[in-house]
Amino acid sequence: MKRYLLPLGLFLALASTLALGLKRVDPQALPSPLVGRPVPAFNLTQLDAPQTRITPAQFKGQVWVLNAWASWCVSCRKEHPVLLDLARKGVVPLVGFNYQDQREPGKQWLQKHGNPYQLTVFDEDGRVGMDLGIIGVPETFVIDKQGVIRHKHAGPVTAEWVQQTLLPLLKELQRG
Amino acid sequence: MAELLRWARQGLTASLWVLAATCAHAQPVVSPQDSGNAALELRVNQLASELRCLVCQNQTIADSHAELAVQLKNEVRTQLAQGRSDDEVRDFMVARYGDFVLYRPPVTTATALLWAGPAVLLLIGLGLLVQHIRARQRLEATSTSTLDSVWPEEPTPKEQA
């Protein structure tokens, strides 16, 4: 009897390890090394104003949310109502990050689906997106008053994410 | 019967077509940028084959056709051409995408088991083997008769032949 205990124990250990792996919500989700680090310094034009340049320094002193999207991105359409709703709440400035797109389709997309953003920066070639470690759109960053990235969400945001993650985090960051 | 043969032939032709299409797809593509500098391209390809494509995750950026992979490969080329070292380019990628981007993960507390695991298992195996041999030697020293019954000294039929 005793000689079966060791293999059985090993089997149970292996099975529970594999079960834990299966339980992960999104196996593609990766921890970002950028959380806890200052938002990369960029100098981009505004989507609807090619002469206006925007840098992250302009947002110092307030908590803000940077949302990467593109007119060619299908799941961005899915999260858009959530962002429009968030904008209506007026709890945090939303900054759009138009990733690997073209100006006209980008502007038309916002006209068609509604514009939740205070302003949108235009990253045509995706080079700044690379500095932000963007793997695919949509991705959403929460940035604190000191300009440090405090949270990153990959994939479309949901009403649950806003309720359970964003709003408590905003409360905490806006106090500090 | 003739019907069956025709089916088999059609099936074979179809699978050959699929195979041909797959092979064509797997051929290395000329990346959108090419410096024309063979030594540089070699370094780019070596480094790119150590970096993971974040979109497809099980391919290197050298193999992948994903837009991000092509873009990252071009970035590798640009930085190497500017005279940066391989390590500097690796650090650039890790700072943005994390250790996951490296196909050869660095030794950290999270990956210690991954790196030490095989050696630890080998040591455990060696330990068990030594224990087993010693036990057998002890057994041999105390009672040869028991062993004889398990391993008879007469040659096996195969050896006689």
Name the residue ranges covered by the structural domains of chain B: 27-101, 107-141
Chain A hits for B68, CB-CB cut-off 8 Å, are 135-136
Residues 6+ apart with CB under 8 A from A68: A97, A99, A129, A132, A134, A137, A138, A139, A140, A141
Gap between the Cα atoms of B44 and B38, Å rounded: 10
Average pLDDT over residues A149-157: 94
Q: Is beta strand A44-46 parallel, antiparallel or unpaired with respect to A149-154?
A: unpaired
Domain B27-101 adopts which CATH fold?
Helicase, Ruva Protein; domain 3 (1.10.8)
State pTM to two decimals.
Answer: 0.72
CB B54 within 8 A of CB B68: yes
Residues of A with CB under 8 A from a CB of B: 28, 30-34, 100, 126, 130-133, 135-136
Gap between the Cα atoms of A121 and A124, Å rounded: 9
In chain A, the residue whose alpha carbon lies closest to the alpha carbon of B75 is A127
Average pLDDT over residues A118-139: 94
- Out of A82-86, A111-115, B13-17, B122-126, least confident range: B13-17
Gap between the Cα atoms of A125 and A134, Å rounded: 13
Interface ipTM: 0.80
Contact B96 A126 (CB under 8 A): no
Q: Residue A45 — φ and ψ, nearest 5°? A: -85, 160
Query: Quick one: A27-175 is in which CATH superfamily?
Result: Glutaredoxin (3.40.30.10)
Residues 6+ apart with CB under 8 A from A121: A42, A44, A45, A46, A47, A54, A95, A96, A97, A98, A128
> Is the bond preceding A138 in cis, omega lying within 30 degrees of 0?
yes
What share of chain A has pLDDT > 70, as a percent?
95
pLDDT tens sequence across B10-38:
655 555 554 444 433 333 333 556 777 88
User: How would residue A3 be classed by pLDDT, with cut points 50, 70 and 90?
Assistant: confident
pLDDT tens sequence across B46-74:
999 999 988 887 889 988 888 889 999 99
Q: Is B71 on the interface with A (CB under 8 A)?
A: yes
- pLDDT higher than threshold 90 for residue A146: yes
Q: Is B54 on the interface with A (CB under 8 A)?
A: yes
| Alpha-carbon distance A150 to nearest alpha carbon in chain B (angstroms) | 15
pLDDT tens sequence across A51-68:
999 999 999 999 999 999
Name the residue ranges covered by the structural domains of chain A: 27-175
